[in-house]
């Protein structure tokens, strides 16, 4: 006759219960972890030219759940774990989703001839969970400025001096920190090959006032006028006479 060991049976039953509860806890944990790692953050919006308020097509919108240390601004720390990208349509509209366990992320906006600066600083657009609907994002167009400066108000000589000062439309404060000085007969270029592309980058689609101070027979004269600089990848090379 065989006898059943009651203590052993109880131990086996207890082990089975422990294993079952452990598997159940693991299943719950995996389910919760899966939910946490599969949050969908969505951003929809429109991107426009800040000056004209017209939509900008073909802007690349890159959505990262962390700071892209290879991007335009390096905040330090680790890079993103998840990323996706989309482009604006002809109406400047875009929609992008990111599946991530993060609580948010950052949009990087790029298109040749345009810059983006967030109103609170930095070159990225922050996104918090659960996302953003109908975002209205403004980018600055770039105008490349390098005119030819030519004297026509009097006889030019090798002893002439000229100072060209460019201002925003609403300012004529005599701050010459952003000025260029020349001497000789001319004509002159606004910038030389020290600046990349031989052009001075400015906000596009703006009127700018300028002041020219110049000498004729040793006497200083002043001319004030304005110029409109459109957003364009083409360098502004018109002649400005003084």
Domain tally, the chain: 2
Q: List, as one string, the DSSP characters of the chain.
A: -----HHHHHHHHHHHHHHHHHHHHHHHHHHHHHHHHTEEEEEEEEEEETTT--B--S-EEEEESS--TTSS----S---S-EEEEE--TTSEEEEEEEESSSEEEEEEE-TTEE---TTSSSSEEEETTEEEEEEEEEEEEEEE--EEE--SS---TT-EEEEEEEETT-----GGGEEEEESS--EESS-TTSGGGSEEEESSEEEEEEEEEEETTEEEEEEEEEEE---SS-B--EEE-
In whole angstroms, what separates CA 90 from the centre of its chain? 19
Q: Residue 3: is its pLDDT beyond 90?
A: no
- Give the domain CATH number at 69: 2.60.40.10
Confidence of residue 129 (pLDDT cuts 50, 70, 90): confident
Instruction: Looking at the structure, tell me whether residues 119 and 165 fall in a common domain.
Output: no
pLDDT tens, residue by residue, 206-217: 999 999 999 999
Q: Considering the domain boundaries, does residue 75 fall inside one?
A: yes
Structure-model confidence comparison of residues 168 and 158, the more confident one: 158
pLDDT tens, residue by residue, 191-209: 866 665 688 899 999 999 9
Radius of gyration from C-alpha coordinates of the chain: 32
Judge if pTM exceeds 0.85.
no
Instruction: Looking at the structure, tell me whether residues 152 and 127 fall in a common domain.
Output: no
Tell me, what's the pLDDT at 80? 72
Confidence of residue 35 (pLDDT cuts 50, 70, 90): very low
Q: Residue 185: is its pLDDT beyond 70?
A: yes
**Strands 239-241 vs 148-150: parallel, antiparallel or unpaired:** parallel
Q: Residue 122: is its pLDDT beyond 60?
A: yes
Instruction: Looking at the structure, tell me whether residues 77 and 94 fall in a common domain.
Output: yes
In whole angstroms, what separates CA 19 from the centre of its chain? 55
CA distances (Å), origin 80, targets 66, 73, 76, 242:
4, 14, 11, 54
Q: Considering the domain boundaries, does residue 162 fall inside one?
A: yes
Q: Residue 169: is its pLDDT beyond 90?
A: no
**If you average pLDDT over every residue of the chain, what do you get?**
81
Q: Which residues contact 137 (CB under 8 A, 6 or more apart)?
A: 45, 46, 47, 48, 107, 109, 116, 125
Instruction: Looking at the structure, tell me whether residues 127 and 175 fall in a common domain.
Output: no
- End-of-domain residue from the set 110, 141, 172: 141
Q: Which residues contact 238 (CB under 8 A, 6 or more apart)?
A: 147, 148, 227
- End-of-domain residue from the set 83, 113, 141: 141
Give me the domain span that covers residue 65. 38-141
């Amino acid at each position: 006759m065989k006898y059943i060991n009651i203590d052993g049976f109880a131990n086996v039953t207890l082990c089975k219960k422990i294993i079952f509860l452990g598997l159940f806890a693991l299943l719950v944990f995996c389910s919760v972890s899966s939910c946490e790692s599969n949050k969908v953050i969505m951003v929809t919006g429109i991107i426009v030219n800040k000056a004209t308020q017209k939509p900008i097509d073909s802007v690349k919108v890159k959505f990262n759940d962390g700071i892209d240390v290879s991007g335009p601004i390096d905040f330090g720390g680790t890079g993103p774990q998840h990323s996706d990208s989309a482009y604006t349509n002809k109406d400047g509209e875009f929609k992008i989703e990111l599946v991530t366990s993060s609580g948010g992320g950052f949009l990087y906006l790029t298109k040749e001839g345009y810059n983006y600066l967030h109103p609170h600083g930095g070159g990225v657009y922050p996104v918090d969970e659960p996302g953003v609907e109908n975002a209205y994002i403004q980018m600055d167009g770039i105008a490349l400025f390098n005119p030819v400066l030519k004297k026509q108000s009097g006889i030019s000589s090798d002893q002439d001096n000229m100072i060209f000062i460019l201002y925003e439309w609403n300012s004529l404060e005599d701050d010459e920190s952003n000025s260029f000085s020349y001497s000789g007969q001319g004509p002159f270029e606004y910038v030389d090959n020290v600046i990349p592309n031989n052009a001075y980058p400015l906000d596009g689609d703006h009127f700018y006032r300028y002041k020219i101070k110049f000498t004729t027979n040793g006497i200083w004269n002043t001319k004030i006028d304005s110029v409109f600089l459109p957003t364009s990848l083409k360098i502004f090379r018109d002649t400005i006479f003084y």
